[in-house]
Structure 1
């Protein structure tokens, strides 16, 4: 097959959520908030949280295994993990996931683009397959934000949840259902402080692990404004690049950060509300896992059909953003029973 005729095609999708549910009422017992306050501002009613000792790698391994099962595969040529919450600062978590999946020897690495990580991963996977370097890629988005969010910070504690989802991409021909058509990415490091964990890196190693600097911080109002603008601009650019008119987009899957952001971007794109996929109510903001989790649930709920035009977009720390267009393959999702034990 000539590499000019090669396309990356999604052939499998799987997900994993930890079993423990944290409701808005649960949070209202420890924070100055209420269910109504949280839900009206975010669209979130509950989120999942890992138990002590359960890691991002545990969730990612289960989601990866589920995606391989969905694709009818036992192996792949490359493993990518999009995450903000690796098991350790060093080494990367992806090689450990690969080994646990029986893929020792397969190249594997982490991607760090915060909430845009999955879209960045689609770009990398698509480029690797398109160049002929690999025939199959397992792309995982997995997060355990409960381990980095300050439980006393109402601005972030109510937003984030834990979870993982993964897709398998394989080499295919143009026009094959599941084809990844186009991806565009962007960044602006001048806004790095808007979404950040201040301590622990090489710039501030003196900030002790016991200090508040270890927690994730976000300027919610400024992030809202920039997210709406960047996601709208990026999504519109990708739709134009593949020649899609608004009425031709069957499903818009934005990063699941906040229902207000999703609705605002949908309106700016001229999309009917029923075409905007939102899974925030049940799982909250799962950062790099949010788009594949939303895709998996939409497929499970029969909101996606073979041949549907799917437009994805994300915005996250860095600042980073990106959008992707694909044609849905009709693949059936597999949901793991729970995190894979060590």
Structure 2
């Protein structure tokens, strides 16, 4: 009998969000907005914010990874690679993943930062799966994490209501039961750069006194344009993955969408014929944590997942980037 094809599966997950809750009522005191306006347009009621000025993205990631290590009783020296999916690295000119590995004692791991905006986690997960399927690696950590509050203009009511801080990490290991990462459909289009960006701070427009005074180091987004692209691209990605694998909405246990806007999520679900009862949501309490939203959903919903469940992860982000990944869940929660 031929050997079962080697796949790559999530075998543990850990998450972390800061304690501080920034509510819509607090935002009403900062900008011209209201709780009703925010909830109606986004579905967000509060978001977590990293308030400690001595902490950054790596601290969020380390908390999440340490939960994985505890759950698996895993020595960090067994980790072979760390992929840190983030748009908010601790510093320029240094690799956050390498710092994370050093801090947790993963002295045998190499690592790098994966920058793909809100698609970072699903792109990074598929990359890790390729490493595992090659037979070269057996234990890889993928962490989706962002400290977006550091880049939010709390004078701009169109963006400050959206973003929060947090992230989650998964352990990816080999599987011989046909479980784990099954298929992915990804896309990108550089046209989107003009619609979602941080204008200054990169090599195109380095920081100057003028760029700081012009508030060009904060997140910018054309919400209406992004909404249309997001619905179309996410819907097409889900449909493609289902068709390629002969699946219908009835065969899917869960869809895990990027938590950018509840109206986008509802429109995508309607477009692909997926009942909202099968759609994971945490946008109400965490907002948009960029690369953190999808793994944070898996972290919260882990007790409800069952071995063999068909799960579709789907996202859309700056760049533009978009895509969907089909998983067969590999374990029943302890």
TM-score (normalised: structure 1): 0.92
**Aligned pairs for 1:225-244 within 5 A:** 225-244=228-247
Q: Distance in 2 between matches of 1:103 and 1:167?
A: 15
Q: Do the aligned residues in 1 keep the contact of 2:231 with 2:267 (CA within 8 Å)?
A: yes
Report the CA distance shift for 1:6/1:250 in structure 2 as closer, same or farther (over 3 A): same
Residue aligned with 1:277, SS: coil
Q: Distance in 1 between matches of 2:3 and 2:206?
A: 45
4+ residue segments displaced more than 3 Å: 206-209, 330-333
Q: Distance in 2 between matches of 1:45 and 1:82?
A: 26
Q: Distance in 2 between matches of 1:246 and 1:332?
A: 24
Q: Do the aligned residues in 2 keep the contact of 1:199 with 1:205 (CA within 8 Å)?
A: yes
Q: Distance in 2 between matches of 1:318 and 1:205?
A: 19
2:256 corresponds in structure 1 to 253
Q: Do the aligned residues in 2 keep the contact of 1:3 with 1:132 (CA within 8 Å)?
A: no
1:276 corresponds in structure 2 to 279
Determine whether 1:106 maps to 2:106: no
Q: Distance in 2 between matches of 1:283 and 1:134?
A: 33
Residue aligned with 2:158, SS: helix
Q: Distance in 2 between matches of 1:251 and 1:263?
A: 14
Residue by residue over 1:106-141, the C-alpha shift from the partner in whole angstroms, topping out at 9 and shown as x without a partner, is 110000001000011011101111112211110001
Deviation at 1:3, TM superposition (A): 9.7
1:196 corresponds in structure 2 to 197
**Aligned pairs for 1:138-153 within 5 A:** 138-153=141-156
> Over aligned residue pairs, what C-alpha RMSD do you find?
1.6
Residue aligned with 1:124, SS: helix
Q: Structure 2: 5+ residue runs without aligned partners?
A: none
Q: Do the aligned residues in 2 keep the contact of 1:4 with 1:130 (CA within 8 Å)?
A: no
Q: Distance in 2 between matches of 1:197 and 1:123?
A: 27
Residue by residue over 1:52-74, the C-alpha shift from the partner in whole angstroms, topping out at 9 and shown as x without a partner, is 22200000011111123233422
Compare 208-217 and 107-116 and name the one that shifted more: 208-217
Q: Do the aligned residues in 2 keep the contact of 1:207 with 1:213 (CA within 8 Å)?
A: no
Residue by residue over 1:255-295, the C-alpha shift from the partner in whole angstroms, topping out at 9 and shown as x without a partner, is 01011011110111101110111110110011100000011
Q: Do the aligned residues in 2 keep the contact of 1:67 with 1:167 (CA within 8 Å)?
A: yes
Q: Distance in 2 between matches of 1:125 and 1:21?
A: 33
Compare 166-175 and 155-164 and name the one that shifted more: 166-175
Q: Distance in 1 between matches of 2:38 and 2:128?
A: 36
How many residue pairs match? The answer is 328
Q: Distance in 1 between matches of 2:6 and 2:16?
A: 30
Deviation at 1:83, TM superposition (A): 0.4
